[in-house]
Amino acid sequence: MKNERMKYLVEILNQAAKAYYAEDREIMSNFEYDALYDELVALEAETGVTLSNSPTIRVGYEAVDELPKERHETPMLSLGKTKSREELRSWLGGHEAVLSWKLDGLTVVLTYEDGKLSKAVTRGNGEIGEVITGNARTFQNVPLSIPFKGKMVLRGEAVISYSDFEAMNAEIADEEAKYKNPRNLCSGSVRQLNSEITAKRKVRFYAFQLVSAEGTEEELALVTERFAYLSKLGFDVVEHYVVTEDTILDRISSFEKAIESYDIPSDGLVLEYNDVAYGASLGRTAKTPKHSIAFKWADELRETTLLEIEWSASRTGLINPVAIFEPVELEGTTVSRASVHNISIVKSLKLGIGDKITVYKANMIIPQIAENLTCSDSLEIPCTCPVCGGRTEIRQANEAQSLYCVNEACPAKQIKSFTQFVSRDAMNIDGLSEATLEKFVDLGLIHEFADLYHLEEHRDKICEMEGFGEKSYNNLISSIDASRKTTLPRIIYGLGIANIGVANAKMLSKYFGYDMEAVLAADAEELAAIDKVGEVIAKAFVEYTHNAENQRIIRKLLSEVTIEIPVIEEGSQTLEGCIFVITGSLNHFENRNELKDLIESKGGKVTGSVTGKTTCLINNDITSTSGKNKKAKELGVPILSEDDFLEQYGLK
């Protein structure tokens, strides 16, 4: 299919351009590039479709002071909803309909005039939306031009896939700074004032309704014909199937199975009469159209009793409320805990110990409180930190209230910082669990990172500790001594700077030539200009590294360790440009990190999720029905055993 070929060409040409211009390497010859580029130009001319990320165009980024508002030509009504499959079936009334995903993102209305994308507006309140045309032009898969010269209006959902969401979160070390869910991230990304930020968020658009297209009303009389036409014009459309009263229940069941591994956020299904004229003839109520109805997955609810609220302190000072309740079975597992997220939610639920509550799993995964049946509203918000006893305060941010410990010397902050510092991806010091670190802090043995390298001064105290003896002490000291020879990425990640995960630590180290002095001297402007860094990460990084006390702590730490600078031999980067995912147990490596280190030493990249860009999935259980295996098979990504991988890529 020509449109699919164009999408492939756009992806491979963009990869080649990035490799050549940004990474000083080639993944194809100039001759090959030119041939593929010419093929893309010819296909664009033939089809009249130009994708937003096509290398044949360059979309300039736009920045605005505020998003202008605009009234929709046709009001966007909310769909009626049901959780009953039988009700959905009877709704058909003997008519044929189209069943599709109800995607969970942000609804956007696109307008094309004379074949060009002229306007994009968010749903807003259904009557008035925000104009986000510049941002829509940066969506990953929106055609900027189409072979339709009249005026066309269509609606669709802007979304961020789970795999892209996880990849973005993997770059953020601070748990509190991670994005909460793809839907919220997408909503914020689509409504940015600077479209360059939107472009980095990998937003995609899936059309779900052709509102109007001049002169096509008689030709496109069915919803399925309209989907086919939009697809022909270069749009990605929501997955959909024709159903009748005889087939709808089976099709709902197939959607239910698919959602377990579906990469695009969805919160239900949409059923729409296939005959457009018939659907329009039914009219509307004050709030909902009658041509469509939404089906929401029925959450499995369980009633239980709230036993306590556990207040969990973090290294940033944020104190998270966690509900502890009598265990219940939900979606096949036993659950007894659920995050309540923040003070605003605690207050809205009117919680009190002993209250009868109902709980469920959001998207059948994350335990949540659905409702408080008692509403005693008797829960006291702690005015002291559960760890240090210091004062707490409630802070307002983005319309939500959260509880914080204001004591900068709070042991929770220290313990969490030390926990990251000694972790496997940082200094990799065995024998220092969070519980052990807590004891060391309580005894005053450690106050800052460098103190870990002087624990031999406290030998007697440590050996007298419960669970410690001569052997445990010696093993700990040996592990600490082994960590003295380390790498710059491990140091940077171990410092626990907000938003600096393992990948960012490696990227920054490479950018600055593995020179710690250059890293410490970098300013926010220089950092923000680095690909995949941006202003938020740059600001947090500089605030940390330019702080006088942090500088002192870092200098003292550096006096205890030796940073090894990697020597990259010519021709050794045999995996450059390749992206791998590792899952399951390994035979030739102690753990996945060991194999990951090997791949990265050869220039490759290891991610946590299988996507269309994954080179191969490494799994010794090739026949597994795991989510990663299923995803790889769906996307045509090779699944290799450990031995086959090592042999195929010349690593044996």
Catalytic residue positions, numbered: 102
The residue type found at 342 is N
CA torsion, ordered 427, 431, 437, 439, to nearest 10 deg: -160
Which tokens in the block code for residue 210?
């052709």
Please work out, in degrees rounded to the nearest 5, the angle formed at the alpha carbon of residue 608 by the alpha carbons of 605 and 613. Answer: 60
Check if the beta carbon of residue 297 is closer than 8 Å to that of residue 256.
yes
Distance CA(315)–CA(420), nearest Å, equals 10
Burial of 42 (0-12, 13-18, 19+ CB in 10 A): exposed
Picking from 488, 494, 495, the residue whose alpha carbon sits closest to that of residue 550 is 495
CA torsion, ordered 106, 531, 165, 504, to nearest 10 deg: -150
Return the number of other C-beta atoms located less than 10 Å from residue 256's C-beta.
13
Check if the beta carbon of residue 161 is closer than 8 Å to that of residue 182.
yes
Check if the beta carbon of residue 476 is closer than 8 Å to that of residue 459.
no
Classify the C-alpha dihedral 80-288-188-165 as positive or negative. Answer: positive
> How far, in Å, are 420, 587, 604, 651 from residue 598 at the CA level?
23, 15, 9, 9
Check if the beta carbon of residue 236 is closer than 8 Å to that of residue 84.
no
At 241 the three-state DSSP class reads strand
Distance CA(413)–CA(219), nearest Å, equals 65
> How far, in Å, are 73, 240, 248, 546 from residue 97 at the CA level?
26, 10, 9, 62
Check if the beta carbon of residue 288 is closer than 8 Å to that of residue 136.
no
List Cβ neighbours of 109 (8 Å cut-off, separation of 6 or more).
Answer: 72, 76, 120, 121, 122, 123, 129, 153, 154, 155, 211
Measured in degrees and rounded to the nearest 5, phi and psi for residue 322 equal: -125, 125
Check if the beta carbon of residue 344 is closer than 8 Å to that of residue 401.
yes
**DSSP letters spanning 261-289:** T-SS-EEEEEEEESBHHHHHHT-B-SS-B
Strands (E), 79-231: 80-82, 97-103, 106-113, 116-122, 128-130, 143-145, 151-159, 204-213
Measured in degrees and rounded to the nearest 5, phi and psi for residue 555 equal: -60, -40
